[in-house]
């Protein structure tokens, strides 16, 4: 009698969500995207299985901040070298690379574990 059980992880079918970022606030949009990437929107969510969706975001250059954050907020990135911290104002980053603002916000809302990089790869930002 042959072995009938299939071993391994179950096949994950990922749905694609398309989000228009026109006029949306960065923080609220980032929490919604992080929830979709983790897979918590599904009824079958299990923490140890990465069952999140693929998220495509368009019109990122039209995102909004509340208050005076375009002038006051600063985006930091590090090269992990001594004195390797670079600070960029959000108003400057908005003109150079507006997708980086949203990617940075989503990255720090995802769990800090080994699945973070794989989940961030499923975030597709279309200009």
Question: What string of DSSP letters covers 29-62?
Answer: HHHHHHHHHHTTTSTT--TTS--PPEEEEE-GGG
Q: Using a CB cutoff of 8 Å and minimum separation of 24, what contacts does 6-15 make? A: 9/49, 10/49, 12/49, 12/50, 12/51, 14/51, 14/52, 14/53, 14/54, 14/122, 15/53, 15/54
**pLDDT at res. 50:** 87
Instruction: Per-residue pLDDT tens, the chain, 127 aa: give them.
Output: 566 666 666 688 899 999 999 999 999 999 999 999 999 999 989 888 888 999 999 999 999 999 999 999 999 999 999 999 999 999 999 999 999 999 999 999 999 999 999 999 999 999 8
Domain locations along the chain: 16-65+98-125
**pLDDT at res. 117:** 95
* 16-65+98-125 CATH: 3.90.1180.10
């Amino acid at each position: 009698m042959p072995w009938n059980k299939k071993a391994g992880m179950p096949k994950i079918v990922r749905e694609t969500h398309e989000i228009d970022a026109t006029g949306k606030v960065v923080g609220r949009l980032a929490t919604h995207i992080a929830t979709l990437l983790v897979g918590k929107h599904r009824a079958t969510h299990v923490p140890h299985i990465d069952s999140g969706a693929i998220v495509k975001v368009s019109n990122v250059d039209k995102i909004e901040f509340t208050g005076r954050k375009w002038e006051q907020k600063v985006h930091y990135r590090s090269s992990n070298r001594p004195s390797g911290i670079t600070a960029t104002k959000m108003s400057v980053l908005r003109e150079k690379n507006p997708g980086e603002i949203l990617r940075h916000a989503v990255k720090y809302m995802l769990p800090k574990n080994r699945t973070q990089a794989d989940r961030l790869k499923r975030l597709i930002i279309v200009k």
